[in-house]
Amino acid sequence: METQTLQLDILTPEKRVVSAAVKFVAAPGTEGEFGVLPGHTDFFALLKSGEVVFEDAAGSHHVAVSWGYAHVRAEAVSILVENAEKAEEIDVERAKKNMEHWEQAYAGVTSEDPNFEIFRAKIERAKARIETAQRVARR
């Protein structure tokens, strides 16, 4: 008999952000968003900044993540990212200020600049945090 849930772990270098039995997970892969149900084929994926959505017995949950990796197995999904925040824990005003700061720093920077990718990644992370928090606040 196939299991109806899979184990989801979202980890950063500092802490375990989520550890739960879930029915479904969607994550922002660099090749596009992907969804996982129990019994999924094994694979590894590179993640970009965005939103991980998962559903458990209590409902739907949202986590803003920065770049990282996902390891999908039939019975588990392990997401290893640089940063992760649950939507309800995000300080939207702080995220907006961070985004403004990085957009100003990014202005006028060319692709030859060694900080080009760093600035772009910081902006993408701030945007993911803002969008994730606002999506949950609208509910």
139 residues of the chain, pLDDT tens digit each: 456 999 999 999 999 999 999 999 999 999 999 999 999 999 999 999 999 999 999 999 999 999 999 999 999 999 999 999 999 999 888 889 988 988 888 888 888 888 888 888 888 889 999 999 888 776 6
If asked whether residues 16 and 76 sit together in one domain, one would say yes
- How many domains does the chain fold into? 2
Q: How many beta carbons lie within 10 A of that of residue 39, not counting itself?
A: 12
pLDDT in tens, 113-128: 888 888 888 888 899 9
If asked whether residues 15 and 63 sit together in one domain, one would say yes
If asked whether residues 12 and 56 sit together in one domain, one would say yes
Tell me, yes or no, whether 37 lies in a domain: yes
If asked whether residues 118 and 64 sit together in one domain, one would say no
Question: What SS3 class is residue 101?
Answer: helix
| pLDDT given for residue 47 in this prediction | 97
DSSP H helical ranges for 47-115 = 92-106
CA dihedral 123, 128, 130, 136 (to 10 degrees): 180
Tell me, yes or no, whether 1 lies in a domain: no
Q: Domain containing 21: what range? A: 6-87
If asked whether residues 81 and 61 sit together in one domain, one would say yes
Q: For residues 2 and 9, what is the distance between their CA atoms, to the nearest angstrom?
A: 20
Strands (E), the chain: 6-11, 16-22, 24-29, 32-36, 43-47, 50-56, 59-65, 68-73, 76-81, 84-86
If asked whether residues 127 and 96 sit together in one domain, one would say yes
Tell me, yes or no, whether 65 lies in a domain: yes
Q: For residues 37 and 87, what is the distance between their CA atoms, to the nearest angstrom?
A: 22
If asked whether residues 96 and 133 sit together in one domain, one would say yes
Tell me, yes or no, whether 29 lies in a domain: yes
